[in-house]
Structure 1
Amino acid sequence: MTPADKPSITFDQPAASVRLPDLKVCIELLKPVTWFAAIWAFMCGVVSSGAPLAARWPELVLGMVLAGPMVCGTSQAVNDWFDRHVDAINEPDRPIPSGRMPGRWGLYIAIIWSGASLLVALPLGPWGVGATMFALAAAWGYSAPPFRFKMNGWWGNAAVALCYEGVPWFTGAAVMRNALPSPHILIIAALYSAGAHGIMTLNDFKSIEGDLKIGVRSLPAQLGVLRASIVACIIMAVPQVCVIEFMIGWHHPLAATLIGVSLLVQLFLMRRLLEKPRERAPWYNATGTTLYVLGMLVSAFALAATGV
């Protein structure tokens, strides 16, 4: 695509006309609905650590705030600013393309929230600060030049999956024990993080037109809707098979059975998804993805039970 082919959409306003953003619009920019995934993964890390919650409740509360409103919120602000031209095509009602977020305030909020996230992480010690720095770097790298990982669905979805699942899980376990999590915890967190790559692919179905026009090579744009949905299903299923095998090997038969049953139901739901991938992607996220994250919690309890 040549520069002349790209849409000429301008969001900057003359300095004299720029107003302060409305608080409601700022919250909308941070997308509270997206915070659940990171908070859930953090809680799975907390549970898997086996640490007594009563003695570490301040870290628990602070970690949930950090994982959701702060770091996840920052990633949403960063993404919306650098994706404002794509959103003007796909979702023009979002705060920035709609003009409800004035001037360059989308960028300013992303910067301010990044600094605030680091300040919130300080009481969590070196493990919390280190994980936060990594997650923020990945969030900016995903959306912002020169890296802009999201331009390729393979790399971009991997970055998001890692920061939404693996990093929060690691952080929860590390902060509660104030130590590097055990290999068992790292393996399970990594597997569920890998599987989340498929969930991210399903989320890309809604923006195919804008991705193709702007040149974002999401997996649906690269492979087409059907092939991308097949790849997403495989990526979601295979790590769960590995989790089941590890649970059996680590003598957690109940956890292996529960996750196995969940996976069988997911496979049935995937079959329906593949009949109409684009139309049913939101439906699958409400059903199959819910089963996926419940399996995460089952695994976390199993790890906690043996104190690994």
Structure 2
Amino acid sequence: MAVSENLSEPGDARGGRLPDPRAVLTLLKPVTWFPPMWAYFCGVVSTGAAFGAHWEQILLGVLLAGPLVCGMSQAANDWCDRHVDAINEPHRPIPSGRVPGRWGLWIALVWTALSLALGWALGPWAFGATALAVLAAWAYSAEPIRLKRNGWWSAGVCGLSYETLPWITGAAVVTAAAPDPKIFAIAILYGLGAHGIMTLNDFKSVEGDVRFGLGSLPARLGVARAARVACWAMAVPQAVVVALLWLWDTPWNAAIVAVLLLGQLALMRRLMTDPKALAPWFNGTGVVLYVLGMLTSACALHLIGRG
């Protein structure tokens, strides 16, 4: 079947149907919401703010970071990638026809508007961060910018958007002020480390990326070299976090992050034996250790702020 025959294009006869609600949820990819939600929560923890006094800002911020902004980015990406997905993953909602016609685009646009509205309601810090995240999401996927043509840029933008931006936003929203420079430093380091996580996510789409000229790192460098880059990208920022936490007189937190990093390094050795096949396994093991390190670092920042 030709690619164009397997897509829900505006002129497709299927375009008049309403999308299956389950397919819409699949389009928004709930499994991807966790990283920005977790990062927002880490931002709140890092300030030492009392949860009880800020529960509305925490709840709405988590909703904003995950189901709205991240969900919007997933819908936008699937709409812009529908031709590539017809090769790599034809079962996805848009190429399979379960989200017909232009519904994928309309969902992305409505979720963009809802994200900006909730960001506005949470205050200037949240609105500014939401606007930046929305711009990054569309720049990542849509023409003419389409940052995902270059895996170096695309993985970096995703990492900073998934980890750094929500972390800083969570800290700023509950304090109504610019976060401490130490919070900025740790949030940026974990965002840089997420470059490696995003590179591993690209292993599943190498064939379509090559065919359509998308320069993901696995397509550019080959799977083995891209896996090595991903491992270094994850490990080096965490090593810097360990050093900073030690210098900031939180040795126990530094030790915990170091142990979690050593665990990731052990898992990375196995990953390198078959990176494409084992990337999903690493995402379920090594990335868990990575996010536990994020929370440990957030708790260290809390202790530093109290001191």
TM-score, with structure 2 as normaliser? 0.96
Secondary structure of 1:96's aligned partner: helix
Give distance in 1, aligned partners of 2:24 and 2:218. 30
> Shift in Å at residue 250 of structure 1?
0.3
Q: Quick check: 1:14 aligned with 2:45?
A: no
Q: Quick check: 1:135 aligned with 2:121?
A: no
> Shift in Å at residue 14 of structure 1?
3.5
> Shift in Å at residue 122 of structure 1?
1.9
Give distance in 2, aligned partners of 1:14 and 1:225. 38
Match of 1:149 among 147, 150, 155: 147
Tell me if the contact between 2:43 and 2:170 (Cα under 8 Å) persists in the aligned partners.
yes
Runs of 4+ in structure 1 over 4 Å off: 6-10
Cα deviation, 1:60-114, whole Å, max 9, x if unaligned, reads 0000100000000000000000000110001100000001101011001100110
Match of 1:233 among 231, 234, 259: 231
Secondary structure of 2:122's aligned partner: helix
Secondary structure of 1:106's aligned partner: helix
Cα deviation, 1:147-205, whole Å, max 9, x if unaligned, reads 10011100011111111100110110000101111100000000000000000000000
Q: Quick check: 1:284 aligned with 2:282?
A: yes
Aligned residues: 303
- Partner residue, 1:267: 265
- Partner residue, 1:217: 215
Give distance in 2, aligned partners of 1:95 and 1:300. 37
Secondary structure of 1:215's aligned partner: coil
Secondary structure of 2:123's aligned partner: helix
Secondary structure of 1:38's aligned partner: helix
Cα deviation, 1:218-247, whole Å, max 9, x if unaligned, reads 000000000000010000000001000100
- Partner residue, 1:123: 121
User: How large is the RMSD of aligned CA atoms in angstroms?
Assistant: 1.3
Give distance in 1, aligned partners of 2:28 and 2:205. 19
> Shift in Å at residue 26 of structure 1?
1.2
Q: 1:16 to 1:208 in 2, by over 3 A?
A: closer
Secondary structure of 1:275's aligned partner: coil
Could you tell me which amino acid in structure 2 is paired with residue 185 of structure 1? Answer: I
Give distance in 2, aligned partners of 1:76 and 1:155. 18
- Partner residue, 1:23: 21
Please, which moves more after superposition, 13-22 or 170-179? 13-22
Q: Quick check: 1:56 aligned with 2:54?
A: yes
Give distance in 2, aligned partners of 1:225 and 1:16. 39
Match of 1:100 among 98, 101, 113: 98
Secondary structure of 2:94's aligned partner: coil
Give distance in 1, aligned partners of 2:141 and 2:192. 20
Give distance in 2, aligned partners of 1:8 and 1:98. 12
Could you tell me which amino acid in structure 2 is paired with residue 122 of structure 1? Answer: W
- Partner residue, 1:169: 167
Could you tell me which amino acid in structure 2 is paired with residue 241 of structure 1? Answer: A
> Shift in Å at residue 11 of structure 1?
2.7
- Partner residue, 1:186: 184
Tell me if the contact between 2:68 and 2:115 (Cα under 8 Å) persists in the aligned partners.
yes
Cα deviation, 1:245-266, whole Å, max 9, x if unaligned, reads 1001100100110011111111
- Partner residue, 1:3: none
> Shift in Å at residue 13 of structure 1?
4.2
- Partner residue, 2:72: 74
Structure 1: gaps of 5 or more residues: 1-5
